Structures are given as C-alpha cells and as structure tokens.
C-alpha cells in the first residue's frame, strides 16, 4: 500500500517543542505523506518554525486560523486533508521513524482500525508503555473481550490509523463544545462505522507528560455533563441495546467516576439551590448504574439519597461535605 497519508497537527503555544515534532516526522521510513500544520492562533513563534519547514519540504502545508481550540483545529485539518488515511499528532510530542510504516505494513481493509501502543515519557525521562497492547485483533461484536480491559476503548487519536473516507462519508468530527474527552467521543463515533480493531504491540508515538498539559487541568460541570450525555449514548448503542451487562465491567467504575466528578464540580461552582436542583434532575437521567463514590463510605451514604431522588436531603448533606 502506498496511498497518501495526511498528518494533522494542531499548533498552539508550542514553539519550544514544535521543531522536534516536525523533524521526527521528516525521518519517517514511509515517505508518501502530507503534513497539515494548523496554527490555531498561536501567539508565539510557532508560525516561523512552520514556514521554515514549508519552505524546505513540499509535503508540509501551513494554515492559520483564529484560536478556537484543538477540536476546531483537528476538524479544520480534516477538511483540508487529501490523503486516503489520516493520523493525528500533537505538536509537543514526537514519533519514531516506523510510526507510519507499521500502520502501512499491517493494513488490511477500510473497515479495520489499526491502533499502536504509546510511549509515555515523564519530565525525568522515564519511559513506559502507556497501554501495554499485544498484537491481536478484536471483532467489535466480541463484547466480552472489549469489556475485559479499558485499554481496548482508549480514545487517544494519536496512535490510530483512520480512513478519511469513513470520516467524511459519515460527517464525523471532534465536538468543539466539549473540553473533556472530546477525542474519546470521536473514537466512539468511528467505532460505530467499522467491524474490527487490530492492536499492535509496537509503540512509535512518544507522548511527553508535562505539568499544565490538558490532562492535568480541571474542567467545568457543564463539560462533564455534556460528555456524560455522549458516553451514555455510546454505551446504549454499543452495549445496552444488545443486553450486555456492564455492571461488573470497568465501564461501571469509569462512568460513575465521571458522574460523581460532575456532581462535585456542580457544587464547587456556586450555583444557586434552584439551579443545582435543575442540574441534579438532569444528571439522574444520565445514571446507568447506582451512583457510588470510591472515596468513602460516608459519601456513599449520601449518594443513597441521590439514587432515590431525594434531592433536598442530598443537597444539604453533600453541600456540607465539600465545604
């Protein structure tokens, strides 16, 4: 296979790391690619670095847009992409020289998603496999396998080989209203359009964990609630409608974690009682499992009132707990 691969890179305040990222792409063993550099209104010298690469390598293409966030930048890249395949790379990370080639060598069919492992690199230089994949294929109808480990539903876009025609035919995009797990929602939508995932043990993507990065920031209550709406829709479509019991799976714990965190954020943001009551009634509709907190038995005893929709009692007790 020698089809063109589009590499989409959102860029914002990364002048310190950007050159290393772009050089690592130039060193790819598979060379038939285009690099779409999407400057999302970055106020630093990122543009100068981009233009230097554009000047010296015809495969690099530069675009400037007003700052609207990483999801908007990725969507802009999807619109401009001309390749058969799409990969997403974050501008403060790097890739090994076999990043693209390992995707190409393992390709089988369009309805077949390839996923590599990720190298997680800390500020001290320690390297670890982020997901610990083995070489294996999973049919998306094999629910027991999918639910056996949360790594199979990991939503990072940077280690995946997407078919651009599937994305465009189904109008898939990153939701620009979301500020939490927006990449996971995109992944969920894509899963609904394919049959098989092949996981590769190889790890060619270098993710640098840095303090102050998006993964370490707090998000608003509304962000959590919006994500829960997508999460429940995906679980209903993919599992619940097939009468798959999720209660003993990792999804139960993960879903409850997001739901409980959303309630914590609701009470941290100083809404009025009437507004809190309004939102609590919306959250209870999103509940799939009995809501529990892993933090303490005392907090769990309070969530009993939430599960029973005794909102006034829950509000009084929970408000006192988090003061």
CATH of the domain at 33: 3.90.550.10
> End of a domain among 168, 195, 215?
215
Q: How many domains does the structure of the chain reveal? A: 2
- Token pair 């907190």 is found at 293
140 and 269 inside one domain: no
Tell me the HSE value of 60 on the side-chain side, using a 13 A CA sphere: 20
Owning domain of residue 139: 5-215
82 and 68 inside one domain: yes
38 and 17 inside one domain: yes
User: Percent of the chain scored above 90 by pLDDT?
Assistant: 74
238 and 182 inside one domain: no
Mean pLDDT within 186-207? 95
199 and 240 inside one domain: no
Q: What is the mean pLDDT of the chain?
A: 92
| 216 band by pLDDT with thresholds 50, 70 and 90 | very low
> End of a domain among 171, 197, 215?
215
Cβ pair 12, 40 in contact under 8 A: yes
29 and 65 inside one domain: yes
Which tens digits make up the pLDDT trace of 127-138? Answer: 888 899 999 999
164 and 85 inside one domain: yes
Mean pLDDT within 173-188? 93
Cβ pair 250, 147 in contact under 8 A: yes
pTM: 0.90
pLDDT of residue 215: 46
Q: How many CB atoms lie within 10 A of CB 145?
A: 14
279 has a pLDDT exceeding 70: yes
Partners of 208 in the β-ladder: 121
Q: What is the C-alpha to C-alpha distance for residues 93 and 195, in angstroms, rounded to an integer?
A: 30
pLDDT of residue 221: 93
197 and 261 inside one domain: no
| Six-digit token string for 155 | 């939503």
> End of a domain among 195, 215, 235?
215
Mean pLDDT within 211-220? 62
Q: Pick from 91-100, 189-198, 210-219, 254-263 the range whose average pLDDT is largest.
A: 91-100
177 has a pLDDT exceeding 80: yes
Which tens digits make up the pLDDT trace of 283-319? Answer: 999 999 888 766 677 788 898 999 999 999 999 999 9
170 and 41 inside one domain: yes
pLDDT of residue 294: 62
Mean pLDDT within 192-198? 94
184 and 46 inside one domain: yes
pLDDT of residue 242: 82
pLDDT of residue 212: 56
271 and 194 inside one domain: no
User: Percent of the chain scored above 70 by pLDDT?
Assistant: 96
323 has a pLDDT exceeding 80: no
Mean pLDDT within 65-88? 98
70 and 121 inside one domain: yes
């Amino acid at each position: 296979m020698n089809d063109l691969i589009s590499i989409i890179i959102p860029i914002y305040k990364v002048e310190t790391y950007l050159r290393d990222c772009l050089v690592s792409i130039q060193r790819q063993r598979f060379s038939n690619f285009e690099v779409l550099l999407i400057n999302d209104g970055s106020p630093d010298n990122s543009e100068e670095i981009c233009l230097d690469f554009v000047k010296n390598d015809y495969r690099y293409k530069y675009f400037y847009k007003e700052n609207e966030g990483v999801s908007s930048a990725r969507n802009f890249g999807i619109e401009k992409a001309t390749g058969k395949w799409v990969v997403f790379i974050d501008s403060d990370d790097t890739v090994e020289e076999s990043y693209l080639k390992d995707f190409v060598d393992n390709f089988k069919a369009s309805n077949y998603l390839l996923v590599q492992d990720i190298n997680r690199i800390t500020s001290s230089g320690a390297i670890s496999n982020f997901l610990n994949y083995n070489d294996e294929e999973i049919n998306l109808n094999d629910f027991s396998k999918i639910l056996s480990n949360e790594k199979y539903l990991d939503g990072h876009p940077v280690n995946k080989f997407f078919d651009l025609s599937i994305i465009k035919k189904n109008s898939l995009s990153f939701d620009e209203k979301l500020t939490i797990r927006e990449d996971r929602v995109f992944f969920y939508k894509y899963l609904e359009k394919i049959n098989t995932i092949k996981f590769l043990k190889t790890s060619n993507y270098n993710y640098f964990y840095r303090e102050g990065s998006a993964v370490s920031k707090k998000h608003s209550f509304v962000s959590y609630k919006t994500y829960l709406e997508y999460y429940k829709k995906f679980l209903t479509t993919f599992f619940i409608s097939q009468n798959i019991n999720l209660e003993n799976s990792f999804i139960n714990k993960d879903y409850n974690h997001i739901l409980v965190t959303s309630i914590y954020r609701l009470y941290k943001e100083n809404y009025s009682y009437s507004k809190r009551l309004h939102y609590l009634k919306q959250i209870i509709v999103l509940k799939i499992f009995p809501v529990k907190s892993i933090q303490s038995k005392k907090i769990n005893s309070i969530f009993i009132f939430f599960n029973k929709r005794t909102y006034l009692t829950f509000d009084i007790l929970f408000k006192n707990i988090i003061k």
